[in-house]
Structure 1
Amino acid sequence: MSDVMKIYLTEDAPAAHWGSADVTFTAGQANIHLQGGDQLRQVQQAARKLRGQGINEVALEGALWDLHTQWAFAQGFATAKQIGKIAWTGDDAVKKVLDDRRDSAAFARQLINETPENLAPVTLANQAAQWLTKVGGDKVSYRIIEGEALLEEKWIGIHSVGRGSERPPALLELDYNPLGEDAPVSAALVGKGITFDSGGYSIKGSEGMLGMKCDMGGAATVTAALGLAIKSGLNKRIKLFLCCAENLISGRAYKLGDILTYKNGVSVEVVNTDAEGRLVLADGLQAACETGAPLVIDAATLTGAAVMAVGTSYNAIFSPSRELINRTQEKASAVAEQVWPLPLEPWHKEMCPSAYADTANSRPVKGGGAGGASNAAGFLWRFVSDDTQWLHMDLASAFADTANGLWAAGATTHGVLTIAELLQD
């Protein structure tokens, strides 16, 4: 008998002696009993239960498994310590898609779950660049701008947020170009790469700071999405910008009341040093728009307000373009991920007023006040070119602080597939 547990899906009810159990066992196998409603959620929950019983290696068997159910199982089966071994079922094409997803998600999980001591800003930039070079080969080129060199190129936001740390901030500029030197850029990706967020002088409490190694989840998400798209045969030129910094307190740290004047001339009063993500993304968005890309996508663990609005099973999305919002929802649905649009209107740009600058980086109230996620998106909009289609993804579902019925504690990688699909479009 094989030592690997075989897992079957069944639409049959469990035998009476199992009561209402959704997972039952017979010799050498487990049966996941599908019911009405969201069957992908049921499969993911069943995978969590099986993993919680100490099962580390499984083989998916039977006719009811498809691409979506197998990936839902994989997401529930992964933990921060080990993604687990899964033998897929189906034809070679399905298995390749699942292998590519697993490899890309494993890279993102490793980055997000890494200790902040081991993942300095320059380390994050280097690891992302090296992995994408491994995936894309000689079609990938990059440079890393770090420390005082950021000021020379007027990337004021990344430098200001990261200058309080002994380890320098950095901007990764990466070019995936399978088409030749003069090819136009089809899309640009921007990721928030705050490798640890203490809150700065607007310091977080311990309970809010504990999980802040995840604050580079946006950088990991867009990197993994680009890698997955390349593995899937992407034949477009894409640029990637990771805005990497540690938000720490020291005699060099940026302060409340500081005014930052960005490359595009917008001046920003700092009223909350814990609203640092938008300050670094402002640089990344300007760099992305300078490429002339018609589509710019940024991803960030940006606001607690997004979590309050959509919970932890959805990522919040924002765009001035209704067409892009609809397309993002369609792409997310096609890969069984969850996104939900929140309001973004031109007046959201004015929702963080300042008496001293063009805008403040937040409102001087807890959590940024009412509509905080939309106000943050409105702030970012100031740094996007008028002729650019822009999508902002606030990653409410990128990280689980504690284990729950769907996810182990740590990175979820939710959002990677949606962005990869948008790149392929």
Structure 2
Amino acid sequence: MTALTLSTAGAATLRADALVVGVAKGAKGPVVAPGAEAVDKAFDGKLAAVLETLGATGAEGEVTKLPAPSGLKAPVVLAVGLGSVPEKDESFSAESLRRAAGTAARALSGSKKAAFALPVEASEDAEAVAEGALLGAYAFTAYQGGDSDAKDGRNGVKQPLAEIALLGAKPRDKAFKAAAERAIALTEEINRARDLVNTPPNDLTPESFAAVATAAGKENGVKVQVLDEKALVKGGFGGILGVGQGSQNPPRLVKLSYTHSKAAKTLALVGKGITYDSGGISLKPAGHNETMKCDMSGAAAVFAAVVTAARLNLAVNVTAYLALAENMPSGSATRPGDVLRMYSGKTVEVLNTDAEGRLVLADALWKASEEKPDAIVDVATLTGAMVLALGNRTFGIMSNDDAFRTSIHEIAEEVGEQSWPMPLPAELRKGMDSPTADIANMGERMGGGLVAGLFLKEFIGEGITWAHLDIAGPAFHEGAPFGYTPKGGTGSSVRTLVKLAERVAAGDLG
């Protein structure tokens, strides 16, 4: 785990393996960003010229390493691109700082300590740099370097940057201290969510996921209730049971409850937790199974959000429901054509067993509705259709309340998560009519992501504000790392959910 400290030391005097500075893209070449004055002085005021000679432009994501001159305690200077120079009277955006810090932290993996001298004018800047650096330093190495003869058990596997010293911050200032504490709590839980998503499905089953949630709840003062397969049968959770009945690893429904004595509102979060999705009897084609350990990303996100809310002591009640199951084909698996009786009492004709996420969510959403929260937000890697519509980096937002949908979209933009509001066209509902049951789990092929949202809407209690986040695109990144986004699990939507909880605590439900 990467450590973070706020340092009062000067950039020239701090001992570290590397010193990180920012460089922006100016009209006539690279421009050294604020925070790097002492470093520029050590280069006789010619740092920008040296960087330009080395081919640097200041473009976002660009990294240039160069040996430090005499006068600096660090042996290496790493210049990271921040993008275009801000307009007059403006400063670098929080997201540009986040991405630059993340890029630098990734470039310094294997180092023990790095000092970050990026532009920090206010506590919000310090928080953005801290978030980006701590998220960028993440690496999932639990299953690598297992050579028992290696002294450290790592067999040469490069470890994440161990320590980050944030320069320009004010350790004694309450705002800066609070910003650092928030960044640490938030990123630790996002990285825990990433670990869960990256864990192989033979080790992350519904039962083991529930055990992780139980342990984290005890550690952070969050009440945890786990319904096992017997309790699910007794309670009539036909959706979760129907999806999980083909697996040797039985399903679970986990409820995590964080309460605050001064809370005036309650926010319920529901996460899809398919620990592995083969498609069931409607088996996925070759090439579509390899990353299906990530189909529990929604459950990981809401789990991380409720624990973060507890760590930040937010004045809001937050409850998370993790609908956990493994979707496998076997002699006991649900078949296309089967009818399931859901927890709500409605019956669902299963036309495609690979449309299983909506089935487990339906039970959890109705269970959440019973407690009459002020709002429900569900998060799921629900449909490939949403990826086709919005790409790999943007999640879709659907809601039964336009103002709430707009509020979540604005919050996502504020915290640096790409999202887009999507409609719930009423005419698509007819496609899910079933001659056998109350509703089918499939409808029209076109607009499939919206059809899934309309299905979920059927399981929201009357009068309850609800939103659905389809994170199928950004939850799992298969390409090269960029900014603070690693390869593999990303922790998508956690920052949005935490900021929403903070807004609700402040009296603004949106």
Fold in common (TM above 0.5): yes
Where structure 1 has 5 or more consecutive residues not aligned to the other structure, the ranges are: none
How far apart are the structure 2 equivalents of 1:99 and 1:130?
20
**1:114 Cα deviation after fit:** 0.7
- Pair 1:108-2:148 in alignment: no
How far apart are the structure 2 equivalents of 1:303 and 1:166?
25
For the Cα contact (< 8 Å) 2:101–2:132, is it kept in 1? no
Secondary structure at the aligned position of 2:359 is classed as helix
Partner of 1:401: 478
- Pair 1:371-2:450 in alignment: no
For the Cα contact (< 8 Å) 1:5–1:57, is it kept in 2? no
Partner of 2:460: 384
Secondary structure at the aligned position of 1:35 is classed as strand
Q: 1:80 aligns with which of 140, 151, 163?
A: 140
Partner of 1:95: 180
Partner of 2:64: 24
In the TM superposition, 1:1-400 aligns within 5 A as 2-11=15-24, 12-13=30-31, 14=48, 15-21=51-57, 22-26=62-66, 27=68, 28-36=76-84, 40=95, 44=99, 47-48=102-103, 51=106, 54-62=109-117, 64-65=119-120, 66=125, 67-81=127-141, 84-89=161-166, 90=169, 91-135=176-220, 137=221, 140-179=222-261, 186-363=266-443, 369-395=445-471, 396-400=473-477
Higher mean displacement: 388-397 or 280-289: 388-397
Alignment TM-score, normalising by the size of structure 2? 0.76
For the Cα contact (< 8 Å) 2:268–2:318, is it kept in 1? yes
For the Cα contact (< 8 Å) 1:200–1:247, is it kept in 2? yes
Change (3 A) 1:130 1:4: same
Q: Deviations over 1:270-296 (max 9, x none)?
A: 111111000000000000000111201
For the Cα contact (< 8 Å) 1:5–1:58, is it kept in 2? yes
Change (3 A) 1:319 1:77: same
Higher mean displacement: 370-379 or 43-52: 43-52
How far apart are the structure 2 equivalents of 1:154 and 1:92?
48
Quick one: higher RCO (CA 8 Å, sep 6+), 1 or 2? 1
How far apart are the structure 1 equivalents of 2:498 and 2:271?
14
Where structure 2 has 5 or more consecutive residues not aligned to the other structure, the ranges are: 1-13, 25-29, 32-47, 69-75, 86-91, 142-158, 170-175, 504-510
For the Cα contact (< 8 Å) 1:88–1:95, is it kept in 2? no
RMSD: 2.4
How far apart are the structure 2 equivalents of 1:243 and 1:285?
9
Alignment TM-score, normalising by the size of structure 1? 0.90
Change (3 A) 1:188 1:43: closer
**1:69 Cα deviation after fit:** 4.0
Q: Deviations over 1:341-362 (max 9, x none)?
A: 1111333433323232222111
Change (3 A) 1:84 1:379: farther
Partner of 1:413: 491
Secondary structure at the aligned position of 2:288 is classed as helix
Secondary structure at the aligned position of 1:317 is classed as strand
Partner of 2:4: none
The residue identity in structure 2 corresponding to 1:36 is S
Change (3 A) 1:58 1:378: farther
Change (3 A) 1:57 1:352: farther
For the Cα contact (< 8 Å) 1:161–1:276, is it kept in 2? yes
For the Cα contact (< 8 Å) 2:475–2:492, is it kept in 1? yes
**1:252 Cα deviation after fit:** 0.8
Secondary structure at the aligned position of 1:207 is classed as coil
For the Cα contact (< 8 Å) 2:256–2:306, is it kept in 1? no
Secondary structure at the aligned position of 2:376 is classed as strand
Change (3 A) 1:388 1:203: same
The residue identity in structure 1 corresponding to 2:406 is N
Secondary structure at the aligned position of 1:252 is classed as coil
Q: Deviations over 1:350-404 (max 9, x none)?
A: 33232322221114xxxx6211111000000000012100011111211113434
Higher mean displacement: 9-18 or 116-125: 9-18
Higher mean displacement: 397-406 or 100-109: 397-406
For the Cα contact (< 8 Å) 2:105–2:136, is it kept in 1? no
Higher mean displacement: 163-172 or 256-265: 256-265
Change (3 A) 1:311 1:70: farther
The residue identity in structure 2 corresponding to 1:4 is D
Change (3 A) 1:293 1:88: farther
Q: Deviations over 1:15-52 (max 9, x none)?
A: 33222453222321201132229963686378447635
How far apart are the structure 1 equivalents of 2:133 and 2:264?
39
Higher mean displacement: 283-292 or 88-97: 88-97
How far apart are the structure 1 equivalents of 2:477 and 2:364?
26
